Structure 1
Amino acid sequence: MSSPSVDTEKSLAPPGPPPTFVEGGLKGYLTVFGAFFALFAAFGQSMAFGSFQLWYSQNQLVNYTASDISWIGSVQLWVFFISGGVIGRLFDAHGPTLLLASGTIILTFSLMMTSLATKYYEFILAQGVVFGIGFGLLFFPSMSATATHFMKYRATALGVAVAGSSVGGVVFPIMLQQLFNNVGFGWAVRISAFVCLACGAIATVTVSSRFPKRKPGPWVDVASLKDANYAIFVLGSAITCLGIFVPMYYIVQYAEGYHASQSLAFGVLSVMNAGSVFGRIVPSIVADQIGRYNTLIPSTALMGIFTLALWYHAHNIGTIMAYSVFYGFFSGSWFALQTSCIAQISKMEKIGVRMGMAYSLVSFAALVGEPIAGAILTRDNGSYTGMMVFTGVSLLLGSLVTLAVKLRINSSLLARV
């Protein structure tokens, strides 16, 4: 049994950086700054899909079920996740700049097309497929580039960068709710597209990688798949992804079911994402002190516990708001720590491809999670009980599988991992 005092992270971390490595530096801090804006635009828009879910159910797609509408967001997430393997390889070969520029153009185009869409398949193509491609081109290079500039404070740096997604998740639902009512759906989405264009431009000129451009490795890194720690971690992430997006997609609709006004229902999603801002920063700082896995695992478990213990009994707007804050906080921690946990069990030059592969592999869970939840909701004639149980159990099981990785690294529960 290993002693809890052993610094497991140091003994098991990948080989140290070259002697010229500088923690952060001007380019590193500019990269965090640019990554924040990239994720504000891409992930922030994605996290606001609950606003679109409610709007579509009452307007353009009023004749479609909740499960049908959720497929738009699920396709978006699937394309985003599965693009990671390809984009990670392109990042290794070409660096972040061209990818970010392409992502900015594609994301903006997707929103412009969404603003013109009227039919279900048009929303699937524009807000699902095309948005997912732009999302991936902004997200993966930003996160991979940030990881190359930091070692000691990698989780903190990634947490600050990924906090941009939560800030976007606060801003976009409020902005869209106001614009939907004041200027109509089309111009509301077009205005949000211009915001994303500006954010993407900032990211393109500020994000850089510490590594020079290099010949990419194989499309599938078989050695990584044979690494048990990496494979188990990806499995745990996939199980978690079955449930993690469900509250974000359905909390607005759930709140309105308890007689919340449209503005208040949209506000519930903003509150959830506001909690996520702190969840992406504070646990990341803690993780650099007590261990990244030691922070990720309880955060995942607490998402499940609060879903089963609080959302299950949330029958008034105050309780719904309280659940939104707690869930937002701990889900933010999960999103913030994924890259640093992958990096901790990877060689530094493989961070890009390993992160991309991981997201590609979990993409299928992200694709089916929300439609499964929607199908349960339809089967139960609008009762959210089954959906809540599905979400909570997925999150708890995901935390247990990830715990297996920590115990493989060091069998002591108290070890810093």
Structure 2
Amino acid sequence: MSSSSERRETFNSYPDQGFKAYSVVLGAWLALFPASGLLNSTGIFQAWLLTNQLSEYSESQIAWIFSVFAFLFFFGGIQAGPLFDRYGLKYLLPTGACGLVISLVCTSFCTGKIDDPFMFQSSRQTNSKQEYYQFMLAFGCLGGLSSSIIWTTSIATLGHWFMQNRGLATGLATTAGGIGGLCYPLAFSRLSHRIGFAWTMRCFALITILCFVGSLPLLKTRLPANRASRVVLDWGGFKDVRFTLTMSAIFILDWAVLVPPAYITTYASFHGHNEIAPNILAILNSASTLGRGLPGFVADKLGRFNVMIVCSMLSTLSIFGLWLHVGSNTALLLSFAVAYGFFSGTAYSLTPVCVAQLCKTEEYATRYGTAYSVVSFATLAGVPISGNILDTSSGSNYTALILFCGTAYAASAILFIFAKGTSQGWKFFTIF
């Protein structure tokens, strides 16, 4: 058998099961726990900074810190993807891990107007005025870029081991974001009042170190490196109408998906749900954990695009049918958090699988990185746009915010329908 034939057979045959394959899933889960967990916990950090270190800034200004984090989380794939295809994860993953640890440690030293309660009075008086740029550089920029490397390499590595069960594998790995989004807010709300903001962030840095020590020996590539991959933008995918429609759907989806996690805590406080406000984000993220894992298994059987369409439509219904009517009704707020958390989980677990379904595995990381560099601009704009919507009405018009979020989700669902129809025909029950 020729070397080219052997190479093609390697790319066409996937383990799809077994100890080695699922140990890679565990490695990806451990790597994604701190990176995705922080992404899904920005709402609790935003609420803290709004009333503490950055209390002199508006909510939309503070939101930019976390929007930059989310933007770079995906935009960084523009280089991480091609580098992964060309060199693998040997150097990329440790670089991302070290960067995220340094980011959290630096964030713990960011100064603010209101300091940790355990500092001496003299220290409080000598501290300078709050420094917005420190949070932006430490958490927003360095944290976002480092997390991008971790996310891209972890998701791309799963593509080396799974094809038929790729939806399940990706879903299981991305539950790390849901569980992290449950653990980090709960830990932050308790630790920040006991040991202060600075030491809480250092505890998170320690958790990050432990996760990466566990992930490094487990997360391994299987396919040979693609030396032909260029570390440049690859716009070839956008010549495919199916790919362009899919990325348009994901672009609009990313306008909306981070809005409820970012604002549900402040929304709950504004409407008097003071008892559950500190924990509502954790409830949403715990539901998201199931919403990342279970739909992946179903998607492998019934079609990745099919499940993505259904979950996008149900997310839209939860926004318009529940969140829009919550007000002071605690039961409705809890119902929305659970429903939206579950159905929106596919935005993280199935969108990479939908993209992979439209390209070759050896091109996936490059194609994914380039495409998401475009999508990341939606992530950058989504939360600040929402903050500006609130600011235009003295920070109290959540109705307009909810309508914006729901409309974006509905438009995304329609584009997914067109992407599927263009790819596989317009029959409803076609598996794709």
Interval of TM-score (by shorter of Structure 1 and Structure 2):
over 0.9
Distance, in Å, in 1 between the alignment partners of 2:235 and 2:69 is 27
The question of 1:50 aligning with 2:39 is answered no
Q: Which runs of 5+ in 2 are unaligned?
A: 1-7, 112-130
Q: 1:290-309, aligned counterparts within 5 Å?
A: 290-309=302-321
> What is the deviation of 1:286?
0.5
Which secondary structure state, in structure 2, belongs to the residue aligned with residue 206 of structure 1? coil
Q: What does residue range 364-383 of structure 1 map to in structure 2 within 5 Å? A: 364-381=377-394, 382-383=396-397
Q: 1:73-112, aligned counterparts within 5 Å? A: 73-112=66-105
Match of 1:11? none
Q: Secondary structure at the match of 1:213?
A: coil
Please show how residues 16-415 of structure 1 align to structure 2 within 5 Å: 18=11, 21-118=14-111, 119-218=131-230, 219-261=232-274, 264-315=276-327, 316-381=329-394, 382-411=396-425, 412-415=427-430
Whole-Å separation in 1 of the counterparts to 2:58 and 2:24 = 42
TM-score by length of structure 2 reads 0.90
Q: Number of aligned residue pairs: give it.
A: 402
Task: For 2:214 and 2:94, locate their aligned partners in 1 and report how far apart those are by CA, in whole Å.
Answer: 10
Shift of 1:216: 4.5
CA distance in 2, matches of 1:221, 1:16: 25
Q: Residue 265 of structure 1: CA displacement? A: 1.4
Task: Work out whether residues 276 and 328 of structure 1, in 8 Å CA contact, stay in contact via their aligned partners in 2.
Answer: yes
Asked if the contact 1:239–1:395 (Cα under 8 Å) also holds between the matched residues in 2, the reply is yes
1:401: how far off? 0.9
Does the 8 Å contact 2:14/2:163 carry over to 1?
A: no
Equivalent residues of 2:160, 2:361 under 8 A apart: yes
Aligned equivalent of 2:119 = none
TM-score w.r.t. structure 1 length? Answer: 0.94
**8 A contact 1:51–1:173 mirrored in 2:** yes
Counterpart in the other structure of 2:115 = none
C-alpha deviation, 1:380, in angstroms: 1.8
Question: Offset of 1:38 from its aligned partner?
Answer: 1.2
Q: Over aligned residues, Cα RMSD in angstroms?
A: 1.4
Letter in structure 2 aligned against 1:414: F
Share of identical aligned residues, percent?
33
Which residue number corresponds to residue 5 of structure 2? none
Aligned-partner residue type, residue 228 of structure 1: V
Displacement of 1:266 after TM fit? 2.3
**Whole-angstrom distance in 2 between the partners of 1:39 and 1:19:** 27
Tell me if the contact between 2:14 and 2:160 (Cα under 8 Å) persists in the aligned partners: no
After superposition, the Cα gap between the structure-2 partners of 1:216 and 1:266, relative to the gap in structure 1 and judged at 3 Å, is farther
Name the amino acid aligned to 1:258.
H
Point out the structure with max Rg over C-alpha: 2
CA distance in 1, matches of 2:47, 2:235: 42
The question of 1:416 aligning with 2:431 is answered yes
Report the CA distance shift for 1:52/1:393 in structure 2 as closer, same or farther (over 3 A). Answer: same
Deviations 1:276-301 (A, max 9, x none): 01101111111011100000011112
CA distance in 2, matches of 1:378, 1:272: 25
Quote how far apart the aligned CAs of 1:306 are. Answer: 1.0
Equivalent position amino acid for 2:42 in 1: F
Q: Is residue 291–residue 344 contact of structure 2 (8 Å, CA) maintained in 1?
A: yes
In structure 1, the partner of 2:127 is: none
CA distance in structure 2 between the partners assigned to 1:16 and 1:345 by the alignment? 19
Please give the alpha-carbon distance, in whole angstroms, between the structure 2 residues aligned to 1:204 and 1:230.
32
What is the rounded CA distance, in whole Å, between the counterparts of 2:9 and 2:348 in structure 1? 25
Distance 2:71 2:207 in 1: 24
Deviation at 1:17, TM superposition (A): 5.9
Partners of 1:138 and 1:200 within 8 A in 2: no
- The code of the aligned residue for 1:278 comes to L
Name the CA shift for 1:333/1:21 in 2 (closer, same or farther; >3 Å). Answer: closer
Q: Which letter maps to 2:84?
A: F
